[in-house]
Structure 1
Amino acid sequence: MKHLTYGMILLSLTLSAAIFGFFYAWVCSTMWGLDAADPRVAISAMQAMNASVRNAVFAPAFFGTPVALGAAAGLLLMRGHLRSAAAFAVGAGVYLCFGLVLTMMVNVPMNEALAMVAVPADVESAGVIWREYSGPWQVWNQIRTVASGAAFLLALSGVMMVGRERV
C-alpha cells in the first residue's frame, strides 16, 4: 500500500506539473507570438494547433490529473494522512473545476467556433476575427493556468505534510 500511495503521489505531481506547464506555455509564448503574427496566419495556426492537441500524449495530463490527485488523496486518507489527503483532494477539485471543466465549457467551444471560420483573404477582417477570439481566450486560459498551478502547489504541500503527520 505504501508503494502504491507513493507511486500515485509521483504520478499526480507529474501530471499536474505537465498540465500547468502546458497552459503556462500558451500564456507566455504561444498566444503572444500569434498576436504578433499576421492575423490570417494566427487563425490558421490556432486552428491547426487546436486540431492537433486531441492526442494520446496530451490526454493523460489533461484528463488524468484530477483522477491521480483524487486517488492520491484517497490512498493518503486510508493511511491516516488527513491533512495531506485534504491538500491533494482540494488540488483535484481546483483543477477539475477551473482546469478541465472550464476548458470543456469555455475554451473548447471557442476553439470549435474558430475551427469553422474560413480565413479571410484581407488582413483587416482577419484581424477582427483574431482579436475577438484571442483576448477572451487568453483570459480563460490564464484562469486555468493559475488553477492548474495551484493544484500542483497543493499536491506539493500535501507531499511536504506527509512526513510531518503522525499516523
Structure 2
Amino acid sequence: MTRSNAVTGAVLGAATVTTGLIAGAFYVFSCGVMPGLARSDDRMYVAVMRDINDVIQNPVFFLSFLGALVLTGVSAWQLRATPYRRWVWTAVAAYAMAFLVTVTFNVPLNDELAGTGDPAALRARFEGPWVAWNAARAVLSTVALGCLGRALVGYGRAGTAPGRGRAGQGRGKRADRSGQGPAETAGSVRRGAGENGRSGRAQPGSSGRNRA
C-alpha cells in the first residue's frame, strides 16, 4: 500500500469514527437522556437541560461534531474516482442534513430554553420539537455512519494482497513457461553442443560405407 493510499484510508477511518461518536451521542439522547428527563418536574427539566446545553459546548464535542463533516467531505473528494464514492457521498449528504438540523432547529431551541420565563411554558415550547429533531438527526447520522462503514470495508478489501498475489502468481507461471534458470540454460547449451559433435563424427563413417 502506498503512502497516498494509507492517508486516504486513515481519513476515511477517522471520518467513520467521528461520525460514529456523534451518532452515538444523538442516540443516547433519544433513548436515555430525554426519556429520563421526561419523568422530572418542569423546574428540574429546564435546569438539567440548561446544564447539558452548557457543558456540551466543549472542544471534544466540537472536534467530533465539526470534524465528522470535514473529514467525510475530504474522504469523498479523495475517493471520487473509486467504486466507493457513492457510499461516501451519501454519507456526506446524510451528515450534512444532520448538521443543518442541529444548527437550524436544536440550537435555537436550546437558546430559547436558556431565556427567562415560566419553566412549564419553556418546557412546553422546547420538549416536543427538540426530541423530534434530535431523533431526525440521530437517524441521519446513523445512515452516514453505515455508509462510511460500507465504504471502509470495501476500501480495506481492495487494498489487501489476494488480487496482487494472483497477479504475482500469474507472472511467475509465465516466467516458468517462457524460460529456464541460468544453470538449466547452460546445461541445455552443453547438451546441444555434444549432440552436434557426435552427429558430425558419425557422418564420415557412414559416407564411407555408402561408397563401398
Normalising by structure 2, we get a TM-score of 0.69
Pair 1:23 & 2:34 matched: no
Pair 1:72 & 2:62 matched: no
Q: 2:58 aligns with which of 55, 58, 73?
A: 55
Deviation, structure 1 residue 110: 0.4
The answer for the alignment partner of 2:177 in structure 1 is: none
Deviation, structure 1 residue 116: 0.6
Pair 1:158 & 2:151 matched: yes
Query: In 1, are the aligned partners of 2:9 and 2:152 still within 8 Å (CA)?
Result: no
Query: In 2, are the aligned partners of 1:12 and 1:72 still within 8 Å (CA)?
Result: yes
The answer for the alignment partner of 2:139 in structure 1 is: 146
Q: How does 1:63-142 map to 2 (within 5 A)?
A: 63-77=66-80, 80-81=81-82, 83-97=83-97, 99-118=98-117, 120=118, 126-142=119-135
| Counterpart-to-counterpart distance in 2, 1:132 and 1:116 | 12
Equivalent residues, number: 156
Cα RMSD for the two superposed structures: 1.7
Query: In 2, are the aligned partners of 1:84 and 1:161 still within 8 Å (CA)?
Result: yes
Per-residue deviation, residues 40-63 of structure 1 (Å, max 9, x unmatched):
011001011111111101012111
Deviation, structure 1 residue 160: 2.6
Give unpaired runs (5+ residues) of structure 2.
164-212
| Counterpart-to-counterpart distance in 1, 2:33 and 2:74 | 32
> Which structure is larger by alpha-carbon Rg, 1 or 2?
2
Query: In 2, are the aligned partners of 1:67 and 1:92 still within 8 Å (CA)?
Result: no
Instruction: Tell me the amino acid that sits aligned with residue 89 of structure 1.
Output: W
The answer for the alignment partner of 2:35 in structure 1 is: 32
With a CA cutoff of 8 Å and minimum separation of 6, indicate the structure with the bigger relative contact order.
1
Normalising by structure 1, we get a TM-score of 0.87
Query: In 2, are the aligned partners of 1:95 and 1:151 still within 8 Å (CA)?
Result: yes
| Counterpart-to-counterpart distance in 1, 2:50 and 2:113 | 7
Query: In 1, are the aligned partners of 2:13 and 2:152 still within 8 Å (CA)?
Result: no
| Counterpart-to-counterpart distance in 1, 2:60 and 2:130 | 23
Deviation, structure 1 residue 164: 5.5
Deviation, structure 1 residue 68: 0.7
The answer for the alignment partner of 1:9 in structure 2 is: 12
